[in-house]
A = this chain, B = another copy of it.
């Protein structure tokens, strides 16, 4: 069934002449790597295809489009494209400055792996079992009868490793590894990718981590923790906000911690909250209470308030969630006794 729909999408792509690809705002490895892979594949079929972005490409992903061959901010690059294709984008709200443009395509497609996807396009293909949207792109490109080359393979590989924490998160499957094996066969410069993504840490990043962990608070008998970064801390250390990306994983990796929250002060009264759980917690529930979304173990939301206030609000929800979870566990234990 899934495969039939994907084949239909492949045919639609083959029939089109022009396509604009829409990665979600706040570019990450999956949304950008998947977009690059699909854009290269479309061009190999002779289509006019571009990736329309609205924010800066983070430095660790610059290598994917080093010569600005694919990504553009120019909304007039194609005026009325045959296809608008959203990639790894759970909600049309994640195309804030590109929403109208997206809707102006003659037809729209939505390729994603988030279970919270809002199905906002004409054709929506959501595969929750895919570790990354790039697993979908991998199959789609094959169904388009495009021979995968190194550039496509590196886009797909980058997407997989960033979304699975290098095959470490539990979204990793047998299929993920089989795809990786095929990508190795096609030829990827794994050393380059690894250096670009993981081995270009600035000393400022090490300094900001020190600041953040110095202020970390443990909650609920060590079952949760919360930390933050504000503009002042960035100024003091010379670090960039994007350099705090790994903090949330480290918070969650602390022994005994089930839920972690990391608050970023983007601007005054704009606090971006990242949430993670280790096993039984469902942080998508917490994020949804503040209008956000995500997966069970990784979710996020934005609060228009101060860091202090946001900390209080998030802390309260985390504790309520953990109390609820513990009650459930006790109830189950009691039932087992009976």
Q: How far is the CA of A216 from the CA of B225 in the complex (A)?
A: 28
Residues in B with CB closer than 8 Å to A203 are 218, 254
- Residue A178 at the chain B interface, CB threshold 8 Å: yes
The answer to whether A191 and B173 touch across the interface, beta carbons within 8 angstroms, is no
User: Measured between C-beta atoms, what is the minimum distance from A157 to chain B in Å?
Assistant: 10
- Residue A172 at the chain B interface, CB threshold 8 Å: yes
The 8 A CB mask of A154-184 against B (1 = contact, 0 = none) is 0000000100011111101111011011001
Q: How far is the CA of A252 from the CA of B200 in the complex (A)?
A: 9
- Residue A150 at the chain B interface, CB threshold 8 Å: no
Residues in B with CB closer than 8 Å to A180 are 167, 177
The answer to whether B254 and A198 touch across the interface, beta carbons within 8 angstroms, is no
A–B pairs, 20, beta carbons within 8 Å: A166-B168, A168-B198, A170-B190, A174-B184, A177-B177, A177-B180, A177-B184, A178-B178, A191-B279, A195-B279, A199-B252, A199-B253, A200-B255, A201-B254, A202-B255, A203-B254, A206-B213, A210-B210, A210-B213, A210-B214
Q: How far is the CA of A194 from the CA of B165 in the complex (A)?
A: 11
- Residue A278 at the chain B interface, CB threshold 8 Å: yes
Q: How far is the CA of A80 from the CA of B123 in the complex (A)?
A: 70
- Residue A185 at the chain B interface, CB threshold 8 Å: yes
Q: How far is the CA of A173 from the CA of B173 in the complex (A)?
A: 17
* A window 232-283: CB within 8 A of B: 250, 252-255, 278-279
Residues in B with CB closer than 8 Å to A165 are 166
Q: How many copies are assembled?
A: 2
Q: How far is the CA of A255 from the CA of B202 in the complex (A)?
A: 6
Total A residues in contact with B, Cβ cutoff 8 Å: 39
Residues in B with CB closer than 8 Å to A161 are 167-168
Closest to A180 in B: B177
Q: Contacting A166 at CB < 8 Å: which of B167, B184, B191, B252?
A: B167
Q: How far is the CA of A278 from the CA of B278 in the complex (A)?
A: 32
Closest to A254 in B: B201
Residues in B with CB closer than 8 Å to A185 are 174
CB within 8 Å for A191 and B170 given contacts A203-B254, A206-B254, A254-B206 = yes
Q: Contacting A181 at CB < 8 Å: which of B181, B214, B250, B278?
A: B181
- Given A161-B167, A199-B252, 20 further pairs, Cβ under 8 A: A161-B168, A166-B166, A166-B168, A167-B180, A174-B181, A177-B180, A178-B178, A178-B181, A198-B253, A199-B253, A199-B254, A199-B255, A200-B253, A200-B255, A201-B250, A201-B255, A202-B255, A206-B250, A206-B254, A210-B214
Q: How far is the CA of A252 from the CA of B252 in the complex (A)?
A: 24
The 8 A CB mask of A199-236 against B (1 = contact, 0 = none) is 11111001000100110001000000000000000000
Closest to A166 in B: B166
Q: How far is the CA of A57 from the CA of B235 in the complex (A)?
A: 43
Residues in B with CB closer than 8 Å to A218 are 203
CB within 8 Å for A278 and B195 given contacts A177-B181, A201-B255, A250-B201 = yes
